[in-house]
Amino acid sequence: MSECEKDLEVLRETFKSGKTKEESWRRSQLKNLLRLLDEKEDDIFKALKQDLGKHQVEAYRDEIGTLVKSVNYALNGLKQWMSSEKAKLPIAAFPSSAELVPEPLGLVLIVSSWNFPFGVSLEPLIGAIAAGNVMVLKPSEHAPSCSSVLAKTIPTYLDTKAIKVIEGDYSVGDKLLQQKWDKIFFTGSAKVAQIVMAAAAKHLTPVTLELGGKCPAIIDSLSSSWDKKIAMKRILSGKYGSCAGQACIGIDYILVEKTFANELVELLKIGIPKMYGENPKESHSISRIINRSHFLRIKNLLDEPMVKASIIYGGSTDEDNLYIEPTVLLDPPVQAAIMTEEIFGPLLPIITVDKIEDSIEFVNARPKPLAIYAFTNDEVLKRKIISKTSSGGVVFNDTIIQYAADTLPFGGVGQSGFGRYHGKFSFDTFSHEKAIIRRSFLTDIWFRYPPWNDHTISLFRSGFRYDYLSVVLITLGLKKA
């Protein structure tokens, strides 16, 4: 840690120099990050395959491609993002002007997770660079190949005096958290987030927490066969298609009306082999579980007797290859761990309700999710979901696409996290908007100074209501104080 502290001192000195505040520095780092993503694409593919068994198409779609898009978006918007924004002042302040000037926070710690090792490491890094900070990236030790690629390539492409990668297990993370930071950005579990917040509180460090939770999919009775076909593809992709369900924004469980449940089950049974083959493990289109510990955790969810009895599709596991088959369950006990803990794996419980509107009450009885997915053409139901539930976001008739939208903030609420990023929101997360006011000596509000009397309080009462006519009349003695 003594070496780490020396690194942090170098970063602080770099920030003090003002180099990172220059647009040219920010732009050069972002362009170099683009080069890294292009020139090290094969290394990234290999690392993701080794750690998570990700097919290179999935790896490009969910990590490299989204990052290329985000860097280009930041490069295109950087000049405008860095510009000051004029703010209005009341007439009483005339002549004066005001503006909001974004400035970098300083030394930033980014702690990323293992399920999207490049995406959730570099996405916040893009915002921190664009905002002009210096930073330390702590990748997850659970994806060691990916962590190693980040540690080896970032110093080759980016400014080593402003951007550091520090590898290590949880003990290294704990020691990093004891340092003084100007911002901590954490992606991971709620349990670890509590440790992060406790450490940040010692230095009153602001934090952004990107967590997760049990994201529900509300499935209404769709009448059109085309709608059902497209919805099924999007549901299956939203559950199994991103890191085998090991995604904070993936579908955790489904809520459906009892009258539509059997048809939904049949659609899933037909759709899974169409998308992932009769033997999904051999298709290489589905990732594997990250490690044995997580494998056993998911398997234990499945092995509860009442839960096991609810399996209607799949259920096979292969510990040697850390593989769990895409599995569908119908009405497992809602008190079971599979319905009280975030699944984070390829198990899909279906919970039936008497009326689709009952799904709103079911969701509200649980911690606020990162996302709610609702498949419906009923505008009344859409309005109810928007107005009567709380979540990080709501997506109608699709899944996960909100992650790729640079114009939308990505983040949770309550136990699914707080703070937001992506696009300009990433820049804002790592910036402070400094308020600047410029005044002239030409005019002054005389009654703002003592001595006080009934006359001045009347002037204040009118002034704070922006009733300038009364201020004039009281001053001229034409209106009683």
CB 100 within 8 A of CB 87: yes
- In this structure, the strands spanning 323-324 and 317-318 are antiparallel
Catalytic entry in 58, 210, 257, 342: 210
H or E stretch at 318: strand 317-318
Catalytic entry in 146, 215, 243, 248: 248
* Cα-to-chain-centroid distance, residue 109: 16
Measured CA to CA, the distance from residue 85 to residue 146 in angstroms comes to 40
Contacts for 345 with CB less than 8 Å, ≥ 6 apart? 244, 245, 246, 289, 294, 298, 301, 324
Biggest CA-to-CA distance, the chain: 91
CA dihedral 192, 193, 199, 200 (to 10 degrees): 160
Terminal-residue alpha carbon distance, the chain:
68
374 strand-pairing partners: 218, 396
Structure-token pair, residue 360 = 């709103």
Buried b / exposed e over 460-477, threshold 16 CB at 10 Å, is eebbeeeeeebbeebeee
User: By CB neighbour count within 10 A (0-12 exposed, 13-18 middle, 19+ buried), where does 233 fall?
Assistant: middle
Segment 1-6 long-range contacts (CB within 8 Å, at least 24 positions apart): 1/175, 4/166, 4/175, 4/176, 4/179, 5/179
User: By CB neighbour count within 10 A (0-12 exposed, 13-18 middle, 19+ buried), where does 169 fall?
Assistant: exposed
Backbone angles phi, psi at 10, to 5 degrees: -60, -45
Closest-CA residue to 286 (of 317, 257, 328, 243): 243
Measured CA to CA, the distance from residue 181 to residue 107 in angstroms comes to 6
Structure-token pair, residue 336 = 């079971």
Query: Is 243 a residue of the active site?
Result: no
Query: Is 63 a residue of the active site?
Result: no
Alpha helices, DSSP H, located in 344-453 = 358-364, 379-388, 424-429
Measured CA to CA, the distance from residue 352 to residue 358 in angstroms comes to 10
Task: Enumerate the active-site residues.
Answer: 210, 248
